[in-house]
Structure 1
Amino acid sequence: MSATHTDTVTVTWNSKALDEIVSNDAGRPVLFTNARVLTMDPLIGTLRGADVLLVGALLVGVGPGIITAAGDDNAIVVDCTGMTVVPAVVDAIALAGGRGHRSEYVATLTPGNTGDLLVVPDALAPDVAGALATLLTRPEEVRALVAAGKPVLWSGTNAPGRATAPEAGIPAAQDLSGSPRVGVWIDNNDFLHQELTPAGRYDETRGGRPHAYEGRYWIDGDRIDYLDDLGFWAFGEFRGEELHHAGYAMRLGPRA
């Protein structure tokens, strides 16, 4: 299906660029050009007639004049005349003055950050809050919503191939037979022993106290989610050969 049609809605804003982005298998850069850009970066601030350059999932450039290299780089160009570009995710703590260093401002249109951005007409974006309100209350007016460099909404409708949210509800148990992450994970002080079973259950021993916590778990990439039998949720992260969870760093013990 052509990207110029999503369901029954015809895409009228930069439809050719959308087609190119959707079929972009060659890693071509994507350039949103000639926009008013509210970066929310305390150093860069607000830019007019500016460009935002994405390569894959990352924002790699912002400011005027990037368009001059678009031909050299075989970039996909999205004309944003009359549009405002804002971060799609806002760092509310930073906006309230709760971060002390610019490097901590993660949800800004800063080179090196994830390419999450929102494009709406200038008239509907007096500021970042106004642009986000447009997304929430008048999504049909959104020109583009991009997550990690991939379109989610375009010209007021769902973009082709967009990600879909997981189904609501607790997922079915995973069959983790043969997973290298199944076994007993032990922290450096031998205080916490966390057994991950092939049936998707975990059983923690803490300080020699068996079955301190028990429940279900699910692994998605390097993330592990826990649902304890008491009803609370927790998570951990696999980093190389370690499992980090609730302040503990654990390693897989010898297999029986």
Structure 2
Amino acid sequence: MSANATLPIAWNSAALHELREHGGERPLLFTGARIITLDPLIGTVTGDVLIGGDRVVGVGPGIVTAAGDDAAIVVRAAGTTIVPAVVDTLAAVGARVQRDLNVGTLTPGVAADLLVLDDGDDGDDGDDGDDGDAADVPAALATLLRRPERLRAVVVAGRPVRWDGQDLTAPAAVAGAPCAQDLSGSPHLGVWVDRTGFLHQELTADGRYDETRGGRPHAFQGRFWIDGDRIDYLDDLGFWAFGEFVGDELHHAGYVMRRRVDPQA
């Protein structure tokens, strides 16, 4: 089976169905997991992670008792370890001045970005390395890299984006694939020129850019993608770069450009 093939959903499929129907409207509760919070006060606990909107709102044992009251979508997560998707080493050693500044922990109040990993505990208590090999953050990261099939869920800002081996979002554009974006009517198309006139960058409706530097035409050419105020470039030479639209300016690689107005327009 290819890496892009659709895999059957087996893990908590009923909960996933509810998430697809009511995600964002109801709280999401993972229950019965080992939770490595990376918060010095909470530590590692066995219990529940409650998510409301895009935030972690509760961590620890016993939250599941109120799941019915709150109409939470319950994911039975016994045999898994939940870790922050981003690791905040400063928070882990207690070096954040304020706990509400923690960015890579599972502290109530922080962004709900987390990974759910199958512990891989085969129950034989042997030394084959399969007994709870996601027992801490280094082991969990090693499992993620070496045994990706054990990744049960990825949650970003409170929403699942990967579940039991299946991507739940539309695939992003990749090198070699056609530019999958509708640029018709985009205010960002046209020729952008820096303040000195050294750099000219043309963005066209087919998702291509053409850059002139110091009067040298076609110095760089390639494809681009726009996501909100961010623009990503993939040059035909193979390197990636990015820029940012700030008001009526395009900031890129130290240059500040403005869109050239066509006098005939």
Structure 1 and Structure 2 fold alike (TM over 0.5) = yes
Aligned identity (percent) is 49
Task: Number of aligned residue pairs: give it.
Answer: 240
Q: Which string of whole-angstrom CA distances, capped at 9 and with x for unpartnered residues, describes residues 133-154 of structure 1?
A: 3333334444434344215133
1:244 aligns with 2:251: yes
Cα 1:255–1:214 change in 2 (3 A) is: same
Shift of 1:21: 1.7
Output the CA distance in 2 between the equivalents of 1:169 and 1:177. Answer: 22
Q: Which string of whole-angstrom CA distances, capped at 9 and with x for unpartnered residues, describes residues 181-233 of structure 1?
A: 11222446665442223344434455x54437330232242232223355432
What do you get for the CA RMSD once the two structures are aligned?
A: 3.8
Which residue does the alignment assign to 1:3?
none
Which residue does the alignment assign to 1:134?
143
Q: Aligned partner of 2:57: which letter?
A: G
Shift of 1:68: 5.4
Which residue does the alignment assign to 1:61?
57
Q: Aligned partner of 2:33: which letter?
A: A
1:108 aligns with 2:144: no
Cα 1:241–1:140 change in 2 (3 A) is: same
Output the CA distance in 2 between the equivalents of 1:45 and 1:233. Answer: 40
Pick from 139, 163, 182: which aligns with 1:153? 163
Which residue does the alignment assign to 1:70?
67
Q: Aligned partner of 1:87: which letter?
A: P
Which residue does the alignment assign to 2:127?
none
Output the CA distance in 1 between the equivalents of 2:150 and 2:239. Answer: 39
Output the CA distance in 2 between the equivalents of 1:143 and 1:197. Answer: 41
5+ residue gaps, structure 1: 1-5
Output the CA distance in 2 between the equivalents of 1:128 and 1:88. Answer: 10
5+ residue gaps, structure 2: 1-5, 122-131
Cα 1:230–1:142 change in 2 (3 A) is: closer
Which residue does the alignment assign to 2:19?
21
TM-score normalized by the length of structure 2: 0.69
Cα 1:205–1:144 change in 2 (3 A) is: closer
Which residue does the alignment assign to 2:77?
80
Contact 1:50 1:62 in 2 (8 A): no
Output the CA distance in 2 between the equivalents of 1:168 and 1:197. Answer: 19
Which residue does the alignment assign to 1:180?
187
Q: Aligned partner of 2:106: which letter?
A: L
Shift of 1:76: 0.7
Contact 1:195 1:204 in 2 (8 A): yes
Pick from 218, 229, 251: which aligns with 2:224? 218
Contact 2:224 2:232 in 1 (8 A): yes
Q: Aligned partner of 2:137: which letter?
A: V
Contact 2:32 2:77 in 1 (8 A): yes
Output the CA distance in 2 between the equivalents of 1:114 and 1:239. Answer: 28
Q: Aligned partner of 1:135: which letter?
A: L
Output the CA distance in 1 between the equivalents of 2:225 and 2:45. Answer: 44
Output the CA distance in 1 between the equivalents of 2:163 and 2:139. Answer: 18
Pick from 22, 34, 37: which aligns with 1:36? 34
Contact 1:47 1:63 in 2 (8 A): no
Output the CA distance in 1 between the equivalents of 2:168 and 2:152. Answer: 15
Contact 2:35 2:47 in 1 (8 A): yes
Shift of 1:55: 3.6
Which residue does the alignment assign to 1:235?
242
